[in-house]
Structures are given as C-alpha cells and as structure tokens.
Structure 1
Amino acid sequence: MQIRYAIAWAMVAIQSTDASNSTSKGDLNGWYPCSEYTFSDEGSSTGQVAQCAVYSAPLCYPGICETPPGVNSEVDVFVKRLPATAADPATTTNVWLLQGGPGASSTDLEISMATLHSELEGTVNVYTMDHRGTGRSTKPDCVAAQVTTTGSPWDLQIKYGDLASFSVTTAATDLATFISRFTNGAGTIVYGVSYGTMFAERLMHLAPPQVTGYVLDGIATTSGAPEFFYASKWDNNFGEVGDAFLALGESDSNCKPHFDSNGLNNTLQGVLEQFDHDPNSTCAALVNSTVETGESPSANLRIALESTEAMKPKSRQQHQIENKSTTYETHYTQALENFFANQWGKLKLVALDPLKHLAKSQTAIQYNFSSDHASLTSPMRTTIPNQASVLLLSGKLDPQTPNKYAEYLLNALRGEKKELIAFEYATHGTVMTTPMVADNPWSETCGMKVLASYVRVGGDLERLDKSCVAEMPAFNLTTPDYYLYSYFGTDVADDGY
C-alpha cells in the first residue's frame, strides 16, 4: 500500500518539476530528498523521508511594490515537506507550520512537523517554509556594509528597492501562491506560532480557497481590535503575567509554607528593596559580579531570576543568605557566569532612549528603514473566509504573547466559526508547552493533540476533540531535581544552606 502511495507522490513531484522547468519565472526547484532534521542535535530520524525545494518568487508582487531597474527580480523561498505515507499524497490533506521570531527559521518546527505527522499516522502532507528574509530563503543582508537587517537601510534600498518586498503581506502572498501552484489542491490547514500568527492572519486576508482552517498559537496580532499588540508593551505584559505567576505561588502547597509570614510576592519585593538599600551585601555583591546591567542591584537580580523554575528556592535563599553559607549561591552564580561566557560573553545591557529612537520614524511597528508616511496603516479587521474556521491557542502564563491578546483577536474576528482554547498554566507556544505528564517536558502535549484533532476533522470546530485540556496536570511549583542540581548543585535548595 505504501509503495503505491510513494509511486503516486513521485509522479506528482516529477510533474511539478516538469511544470516548473517549462516556465522562466516563479520556478520550483525540487523536490529533492533531504534530512528530516536539518541539524543532527534536533532529534533522531523516525524513518520519514523529507523533501526540500526552493521557490523562485518574484521580489515584488503586483499591488505591493515594483521592482526597480537593475534589481534582481526574484528571491528564493525555501520549502520543506513530509509527504503522507499512509494515504495518497496527491489527494490527501496538507498542513503548513509557520515559524515565529520574527526572523526564526523553520528548523525550530521540524520536531513539531515529525510529531504531527506521526500523531496523524502519516495520513497528511506536512509542510513548512523559511519565509523570505529568514533561514535558507533570501535574507535582506548588506554584504557591502557587512551587517544584516537594520544595519544599513541605504544598502538594502540599493539592493532590493522598496522594502515592502520583505513585508508580512509579501510573505503571505508567497505562501498563497505556493499553495495554489505547487500543492495538490486538497484541503489545507495552516498553523502559525508567535509571529507566525501574524503571518497566518495575513493569509486569511488573502483567503486562498484551499485553506479550510487556521490555527494561531501565541497570538501576536490583534488586527481590528481596540488594543493592538505593540512590542513597546513588552515589559508591562511580562509584569502582568509575572504577577499572575506569583499569585499562583501564594496558593501552591509546595511553595506557600516557605513564605507564610509575608508571602512570595512580598518576600521577593523585600529582597529587591534590600539589594538597592545595601548593594555591598554578600548576596548583592555575588549577583552584581555575575550580571552587569549598569542599572540598580535589584535590576541585576531581576535578570538572574528570569527562570521561573528557580524563583522559589532562589527567593528564599536571597532572603537567608546574609546569615547562611554561600555555597549554593556561589554554584548558581558560577553556572550563570559560565553560560554567559559561553554564549554572549559577560551580560551587559545598554540603556536606550526610546524617545530619541522613535523620533527618527513615523512608526514603531516596522524596522524603521525610513520615515515614509506610507508605512502607516490602519489595522484591518479580519473576516474569516467562508470555507474556513479559526482556532486560537493560548497560555495564561505566556508573557511574550499574553492571553489577553488572544481574547482581543477572538472578539475582533468577523465570523462565527472561531474558538479560543486557553491553557491555564501554559507558557508561549502551547503545542510545545502543554506536557500531559507533570515535570516531563518530553511527554506528549495537549496542544499537539488538539492541533492533530483539528486537522483530522478538517477544521470542524463542533467535532474538535479537546478532552485533554481537562486532563492537564495541576499547577505545582515543586522544582524538578535536574533544575536544582543545574542551578544550585543540590536537591535541597529550599533549606537555604
């Protein structure tokens, strides 16, 4: 049976290649056998045969921009797929996974591609792409200036002309064109995560008829809603979700006993104030020697406490350390020092004057390539295409794309076929951050099970199986031993010794 499907798929690939060779513009160079995982450390092969291709897309599509004289009129768009193995790939459903970032390549989605393909027992074709500007697709690099993206707008202008050629609209047009020209014409589900939700929403505006469902995970777009998703609200968003996390800690049976007198939130606030009051204290000096921000000692501590898994024992240790041994604290700071030395060198943050930078541009949403007023647009409220539905996935402990934006988009979407599933304790990207087994981040996830069900029922929300949401593990702040040993070199960090 699988041999018959493999032969059918090979014929489709040959026909696609022949069709592309007969044209001079918009060619598809592929499909070629390629590795399931681009990098060997991403995962071990499951025996699935991936195929890769490059779509030669026009630099500018009609109505978006015009290619200036002397500028290369084409860009490369890298595409990868896992063909169906238990169904006819020439007729079965297609699923697209779109990466976020913005600027991340599709390699981060390869594990999800393989997992979804396996979850659906090989009955679908799973696709992804490096949208233009990322990964193995054409990037807006400045070879003359020896930098990329925002480093030299003049070099980019000379090389590419109107930079609308690298806009979200252009990337979405690449995808709509590819689906129309180079896939099998069957029903298609599009999944986008983080920035990929903006990409997927723009595709909704283009409304390709083959797409019957859109899944947006970690909502980074709220077109048409009263509250827009601005990156300038990043710190406020983190603060709101951080407060929600601390509030959960106040009622957690494993956490509450350690902070009975003042509570977790008040204890943490007290430690921050103590650092600023006595920056030369033993604990403050240890943290300040590890994390350098040029700001207050409490700011350094905030950087050191970025890991929520380490926050509970760390907060209590900071409270006790002036009167206790510093062995654990030294282990922690040494581990942090080694991490920064290996990855970025000593961590140093540069204070920016936002007014100075914003004054150079008419908008804070784009990359500030110019101050052209044409870059300003009114958010377009999205209408769900007649043949499609929209499923929104969100985590209530997601500080990058907080759940409130998913609620805003749900209300702003025009149409009835829409649903939001918000996971109580999930963080960013629920397909990856909703493990069904507590303290086991490698267990199957509820987000993936919901996505697979959505694909299986062709986007029919009434038939969607979301039973796993009610089976999610309860909130638990017990820190796994592997985190304790990694950060503190012990499994009894709560004792503060």
Structure 2
Amino acid sequence: MPLRYEPSPLRVIYLEDQVDGIKIPSFIYELASNRQNRHQLEIKMKHFGRITLATLLTLPAVLSSKRLLNGWYPCSEFTFSDEGSAGGLMAECTMYTAPVCYPGICDSSDASESTVDIFVKRMPATVGDPETSTNVWVLQGGPGDSSTGMESSMVNLHNQLGGAINVYTMDHRGTGRSTFLDCEDEILERGSHPFRFKYRDLASFSMTSAATDIATFISKFTNGANTTVYDVSYGTALHIISFRSARRQVHVLFDDGRSGDGIVYKRDQYWNRSAVIPKQASVLLLNGKLDLFTPSKYAESLLAALDGDKKELFTIDHAVHDTVVFSQLVEDLANATDTCGFKLLVSFVENNGDLERLGRSCVSRMPAFNMTTYAKFHHVYLSTEDPYDGNYNSSLRQRLSDLL
C-alpha cells in the first residue's frame, strides 16, 4: 500500500553558535547535546576548520529532558492512501521520547539505548477551542497492531460529534511508527538478540511500560480536560493499567472486547488487583457473545472486579470481535454503515460518561440471528451458488474482484 506523504517535523533554527570562530547552525550544535559529543564536535572543528552538514548529522543525538515532543506537525488522517481521502492535512502527528524504563518497572542503566520513540496522532477540535475541548483516545489492540486500523474510527467519531472534540491515537511501543520490536528467525537460531544489548530488560516492552506511556502522555501533554479512552481487544488489558495511573485525567473508559491477562508476564504491582474507579470516572464495557478472540466471560469478570458503582456492560447477542464495527443494525451486513456499538460510543462521549443519560435504545433493535451468506462470499471462497447444498462451480472462483 502506498504511503501518503506527511511533512517532516524538522524545524531548522538559523541562529548560529561559534566553535573557535567558525559559525554553525545551532540546531546542528544541539545534536551534540551532551558534553562528550559536543567536545567531539569542537575537536572536529579545530582540526578541519570546516565540517559538512552530513558529517555533523552522524553525531549521536541525545535529547534534552525538556524536549520530550518533537512538536506537532500536519499529517494525513489516513496513513495509507487506499484507506480514504485525506482531504488535506487535517490531523497532527508527533513523536514522544519516552524512557526505556519507567521508575519501578525495569532497569535500563546498562542498556545502550535510554529512550524509545512513541508515535502519536491527533485530530484537534475544529469547533471551539482545542485547549479546552474534551479528549477522546481511540486505541488499538492486537497485540502488535498499529494505530492505522483505528484511523477510520477517529475520523467518524470526530465527524459524528461535530468536530467539537480532540481525538488521539498512539502506536504502542514496539508497534507501527513507534520504536519497533521485531525478531528475525536467523538471530533467534543463534540464541541471541540485539534487543538485550539495546534495552536489556524485557519489561521495557511489557504491558505496564506501554500503559505508562499512555498515562504519562495524557497527564503531561494534553489539555487536562475530560478524557475518554476507547480501546479494543488487547488494548483493554493495557488501558485498565493506564486507567490506574492517569486517574485524574481519565473520566470515562470504553472497553470493546475485554482481553484476559497473558500467561507469560512478569508479575508487578498491578497483577491480581482490582482497579478502583475514581469518583469522577465511569466505565462502559462492550462485548459480542459470538466473539471468539475475547469471549464475553472476560468482560463479565472485569465488570465484577471493577471497584465502583459507575460501570455497565453491554453484551450484543450476535456480534463478533470489535463490537463497535460489527454490531450492524440491519440484516444486510454487506451494506451496513450504522452500528449499535458506535451509537453507544458517541452517546457515551456526548454525555461525558454519564451512564444514566446514555442512549441505549439500539441494543433492543439489533436484528435477529441470520445464517444467510452473501453471494460474493460463497462465490469466491466456496465456488458454489448454495453454501449449504450446492454444486461446485470452478468459474465462480474467478470473481475475487467482487470482494475488493
């Protein structure tokens, strides 16, 4: 899929510093921000008098603690051009420089890397003041999926609420455009991996570390207004942890497809502890009873475990995984654009998480269970006109374009 062009966030400052009387752009000088690297730069300047931009850019960049964001810059709502029309650069993107290890989670003192990059995208409010508007986070699951799969939901939610909210998303550490965690078979066969040299402690890419990125960003880099976190699948496990960390900022939590705890996970202070719902917050859970990835029993267990009264669970009888998308209100699922899950989400945000005012009428209007399949599916996958008692017809397999 072709990538859509997104402008670079690099801003060149033309103020100049001098090293032994030779002027260099200050943004280059700041690349050598610690004493050792700056000393190396000064030595190069003394010996060669002139130094090219390309040579300077090879110096390691150690970011100042004051520069945790590289600045918000215009970017496309849709990362991939075939996902939809950008309509101009209406979104904004940034990179958050996060520590490899947060205090109390892991130790990276002997690691070669001390920071990781966290990609964040937002659609600022276009009605009212973004500095005071409600914030909604739309967060992906997987585990391992990037935020590109949530961009349509971001745009739809922003439009449905009349542009009066700020909508955010993030690539969890290890995924997408954030510092990427991958593993090559050849390296594994040798019994080693550069991960241990770069980051040392495996907990640096744990659920707790990823959740702390979210909580820290909400606390430090958003406007402090009411915040709703909408998360899907594996994202729910992460954000129950972040919910505990960003207690003051997060007012409402919308979980779609509750994921259970993993079986390989170092136990920390969050293990086997029920989350307490802060006084200002509420929690809305949504799950499909036909969800094979995150069975509804996990959502029921979470509802019982949450410590607080402002909580509610909707289980949609015939919905599958990702209930906001797959809870269509009409039987013609191939052409359905309106879902009950999305209506619940919009109402939840509109009413600032007030469950008493939540519009829930769509739940009773869900269509009955229907085993009818769509012709384009059983043509391509089963090569027959009747998926239950039909004859094989090889010519039907040529209609793959029907699904595109």
Q: TM class by shorter-chain length?
A: 0.7 to 0.9
Map Cα deviations across residues 64-96 of structure 1 (whole Å, 9 max, x no partner). Answer: 122223522110000001111122211100000
Could you say which residue in structure 2 is the equivalent of 1:93? 134
Give me the TM-score of the superposition, normalised by structure 2: 0.76
Query: Is residue 424 of structure 1 aligned with residue 317 of structure 2?
Result: yes
Instruction: Tell me which of 143, 146, 154 is aligned to 1:102.
Output: 143
Residue 408 of structure 1 aligns to a residue in which SS?
A: helix
Query: Is residue 113 of structure 1 aligned with residue 158 of structure 2?
Result: no
TM-fit CA distance, 1:393:
0.3
TM-fit CA distance, 1:141:
3.9
Could you say which residue in structure 1 is the equivalent of 2:264? 365
Whole-Å Cα distance in 2 between the matches of residues 146 and 117 of structure 1? 44
Query: Is residue 41 of structure 1 aligned with residue 82 of structure 2?
Result: yes
Could you say which residue in structure 1 is the equivalent of 2:26? none
Instruction: Tell me which of 169, 188, 201 is aligned to 2:240.
Output: 201
Whole-Å Cα distance in 1 between the matches of residues 77 and 390 of structure 2? 46
Q: After superposition, where does 1:229-308 map in structure 2 within 5 Å?
A: 229=261
Distance 1:481 1:374, change over 3 A: closer
Whole-Å Cα distance in 1 between the matches of residues 220 and 68 of structure 2? 10
What is the RMSD of the two structures over their aligned residues, measured on CA atoms?
A: 2.6
Instruction: Tell me which of 288, 292, 303 is aligned to 1:399.
Output: 292
Distance 1:214 1:70, change over 3 A: closer
Whole-Å Cα distance in 1 between the matches of residues 183 and 369 of structure 2? 48
Could you say which residue in structure 1 is the equivalent of 2:231? 192
Whole-Å Cα distance in 2 between the matches of residues 215 and 392 of structure 1? 6
Q: Which amino acid aligns with 1:97?
A: V
Consecutive unaligned residues of structure 2, counting only runs of 5 or more, are: 1-10, 12-29, 34-62, 392-404
Could you say which residue in structure 1 is the equivalent of 2:377? 483
Could you say which residue in structure 2 is the equivalent of 1:56? 97
Distance 1:138 1:435, change over 3 A: same
TM-fit CA distance, 1:471:
1.4
Could you say which residue in structure 2 is the equivalent of 1:268? none
Q: Which amino acid aligns with 2:276?
A: T
Distance 1:467 1:47, change over 3 A: farther
Q: Which amino acid aligns with 2:258?
A: I
Could you say which residue in structure 2 is the equivalent of 1:388? 281
For the 8 Å contact 2:121–2:168, the answer to whether it is kept is yes
Identify the structure with the greater helix proportion. 1
Whole-Å Cα distance in 1 between the matches of residues 125 and 192 of structure 2? 43
Instruction: Tell me which of 145, 162, 172 is aligned to 2:211.
Output: 172
Give me the TM-score of the superposition, normalised by structure 1: 0.62
Q: Does 64-73 or 156-165 show the bigger shift?
A: 64-73
Instruction: Tell me which of 201, 221, 224 is aligned to 1:162.
Output: 201
Could you say which residue in structure 2 is the equivalent of 1:451? 345
For the 8 Å contact 2:124–2:165, the answer to whether it is kept is yes
TM-fit CA distance, 1:48:
7.0
Could you say which residue in structure 2 is the equivalent of 1:129? 170
Whole-Å Cα distance in 2 between the matches of residues 471 and 107 of structure 1? 31
Whole-Å Cα distance in 2 between the matches of residues 374 and 220 of structure 1? 17
Residue 29 of structure 1 aligns to a residue in which SS?
A: coil
Distance 1:70 1:405, change over 3 A: closer
Consecutive unaligned residues of structure 1, counting only runs of 5 or more, are: 1-13, 15-20, 222-228, 231-363, 367-372
For the 8 Å contact 2:141–2:232, the answer to whether it is kept is yes
Whole-Å Cα distance in 2 between the matches of residues 117 and 147 of structure 1? 44
Q: Which amino acid aligns with 2:360?
A: K
Q: Which has the higher contact order (CA 8 A, sep 6+)?
A: 1
Q: Which amino acid aligns with 1:456?
A: E
Q: Which amino acid aligns with 1:208?
A: R
For the 8 Å contact 2:284–2:312, the answer to whether it is kept is yes
Distance 1:153 1:418, change over 3 A: farther
Distance 1:375 1:80, change over 3 A: same
Whole-Å Cα distance in 2 between the matches of residues 159 and 104 of structure 1? 23
Residue 70 of structure 2 aligns to a residue in which SS?
A: strand
Whole-Å Cα distance in 2 between the matches of residues 152 and 174 of structure 1? 30
Map Cα deviations across residues 206-262 of structure 1 (whole Å, 9 max, x no partner). Answer: 1431110011110003xxxxxxx56xxxxxxxxxxxxxxxxxxxxxxxxxxxxxxxx
* Amino-acid identity (%): 53
For the 8 Å contact 2:229–2:254, the answer to whether it is kept is yes
Whole-Å Cα distance in 1 between the matches of residues 117 and 103 of structure 2? 18
Residue 128 of structure 1 aligns to a residue in which SS?
A: strand
Whole-Å Cα distance in 1 between the matches of residues 190 and 158 of structure 2? 39
For the 8 Å contact 1:52–1:78, the answer to whether it is kept is yes
Instruction: Tell me which of 123, 133, 149 is aligned to 1:82.
Output: 123
For the 8 Å contact 1:142–1:155, the answer to whether it is kept is no
Whole-Å Cα distance in 2 between the matches of residues 124 and 214 of structure 1? 16
Could you say which residue in structure 2 is the equivalent of 1:472? 366
Map Cα deviations across residues 138-174 of structure 1 (whole Å, 9 max, x no partner). Answer: 123468x7669x9966532221011211111111111
Could you say which residue in structure 2 is the equivalent of 1:212? 251
Paired residues in the alignment total: 330
Whole-Å Cα distance in 2 between the matches of residues 99 and 112 of structure 1? 11
Whole-Å Cα distance in 2 between the matches of residues 159 and 433 of structure 1? 41
